[in-house]
Amino acid sequence: MAIERPTRPAARATGVGELFQLLRDGAPRTRAELASTTGQARSTIAARVELLLAAGLVSATGEAQSTGGRPPATFAFSPEVRVVLAVDLGATHARVALTDLASNVLAVAETAIRMDLGPTHVLGLVCALGDELLAEAGRERSSLVSIGVGIPGPVEFSAGRPINPPIMPGWDGADVPGIVHEHFAVPVLVDNDVNLMALGEHRSSWPDIDDLLFVKVATGIGAGIISDGSLRRGAKGSAGDIGHIAVDGAPAVPCRCGNTGCLEAVAGSEAIAAALAEEGIEVTGSAEIVALVRGGDRAAARAMRRAGRDVGTVLAACVSMVNPSMIVVGGGLAEAGEQLLAGIREVVYKRSLPLATHDLRLVASVAGTDAGILGASALAVDHVLSPQALDERLG
């Protein structure tokens, strides 16, 4: 039996998009240096640098040391000229930011939304907010190059469409890019909110960690997987969907998915609220639970720790499966701090193999509530700066 030739294209883009990748690290380079690195003709390089200058992606940064005669000009990536909109949609709120191409936040706003009013209504609000942010930051509409949107449900990434999202009635199969497009004529990228939180946390705080698992613990529980440095979405975009994994040893609590004993059903905020209700404590939502834990309530601390152990049971299997070197815990319940992390650590370090846990770090999210918009920004930026997109736009 022989192995077929690789079917992925061997030919690389060698146009303006590829040239830009050389400049993306921000270091200034002369035309001569670019010609020598690429092996391409000086005239070809000069023409492509002009395209990048005109697009506002590269600027002249000064002059290199002269070896005699007029010193040659240097060029570098200028991430501050163009902007993207970063949208983080939750069940009841939207957080929208305007960032530059280095994901520096230029303006940010949050607003209450009702997802059940449907995509046209919600995305209309988001676009109006985008216009306000552009005005606030003093940027022209023409400087906007792309939009990233995170939504709280499964997404078919290539099409940008939600698929059977359980908490978003009216959104199944909605053409999110198409609706946003009617307002802003730029590329629109859509992904699951937890994937974007993972991407945002990774890029902003741990860019050198190639294998990272981000876990969101709130009403819903989900994960985003960074493997070999990139976000992995799986075949249908549902990778990291750990909220409905059965928890070994947990009670057979019915879950809204139809199965029993799912992680979300035994360790999400509703499960914690139900446990506290049995002790006569009425709470609603992650924030109230976190406030109780922080206020020193023992029953709440116990419930949180138990939830941590359930999350840890599932994460132990995930650690065996994908072998990350870091687990980052975020989401509303993570704000409770050590009680949740301690429960998770307890089980993960006990149940996973030594090789997988030897150098494993388990930490709370650094980006916190900004993880989602940072990830949406990174998604939007990565798209417009990719060789393919640049070749198409400028080449």
Number of residues this chain uses to bind its own copies (CB under 8 A): 92
What are the residues facing 156 on neighbouring strands? 161
Return the range that interacts with its own copies (CB under 8 A); candidates 16-24, 63-71, 137-145, 278-286. Answer: 16-24
Nearer to its own copies, 128 or 366 (CB): 366
Nearer to its own copies, 190 or 374 (CB): 374
Q: How far is the CB of 54 from its own copies (least distance, A)?
A: 20
Nearer to its own copies, 334 or 378 (CB): 378
Would you call 105 helix, strand, or coil by DSSP?
strand
Q: How far is the CB of 296 from its own copies (least distance, A)?
A: 30
Q: How far is the CB of 283 from its own copies (least distance, A)?
A: 28
Nearer to its own copies, 247 or 300 (CB): 247
- Among 181, 183, 302, 351, the residue binding its own copies under the rule CB under 8 A is 351
Take residue 28 and report the two structure tokens written for it: 């200034």
Among all chains, which residue has been given the structure tokens 């192995």? 3
Q: Using alpha carbons, list the distances in angstroms from residue 108 to 88, 91, 132, 306.
A: 11, 19, 10, 36
Would you call 65 helix, strand, or coil by DSSP?
coil
Nearer to its own copies, 292 or 334 (CB): 334
Nearer to its own copies, 219 or 313 (CB): 313
Q: How far is the CB of 298 from its own copies (least distance, A)?
A: 29
- Among 195, 269, 339, 377, the residue binding its own copies under the rule CB under 8 A is 377
- In terms of Cβ atoms closer than 10 Å to its own Cβ (0-12, 13-18, 19+), residue 118 is middle
- Gap between the Cα atoms of 222 and 154, Å rounded: 11
Would you call 381 helix, strand, or coil by DSSP?
helix
- In terms of Cβ atoms closer than 10 Å to its own Cβ (0-12, 13-18, 19+), residue 67 is exposed
User: Is 96 a binder of its own copies (CB under 8 A)?
Assistant: no
- Gap between the Cα atoms of 393 and 111, Å rounded: 33
* Cα first-last separation, the chain: 42
Map the footprint of its own copies across residues 101-140, applying CB under 8 A. 102-105
Return the range that interacts with its own copies (CB under 8 A); candidates 53-61, 177-185, 322-330, 334-342. Answer: 322-330
Map the footprint of its own copies across residues 160-189, applying CB under 8 A. 163-164
Question: Do residues 224 and 234 lie in contact, with contact meaning Cβ atoms separated by under 8 Å?
Answer: no
User: Is 322 a binder of its own copies (CB under 8 A)?
Assistant: yes
Map the footprint of its own copies across residues 227-286, applying CB under 8 A. 227-230, 232-242, 244-249, 257, 259, 261
Q: How far is the CB of 62 from its own copies (least distance, A)?
A: 19
Take residue 149 and report the two structure tokens written for it: 């949107």
Identify the CA nearest to 55 among candidates 75, 71, 70. 75
Question: Do residues 108 and 95 lie in contact, with contact meaning Cβ atoms separated by under 8 Å?
Answer: yes
Tell me the HSE value of 269 on the side-chain side, using a 13 A CA sphere: 23
Nearer to its own copies, 3 or 112 (CB): 3
Return the range that interacts with its own copies (CB under 8 A); candidates 60-68, 118-126, 172-180, 318-326. Answer: 318-326
Nearer to its own copies, 16 or 113 (CB): 16
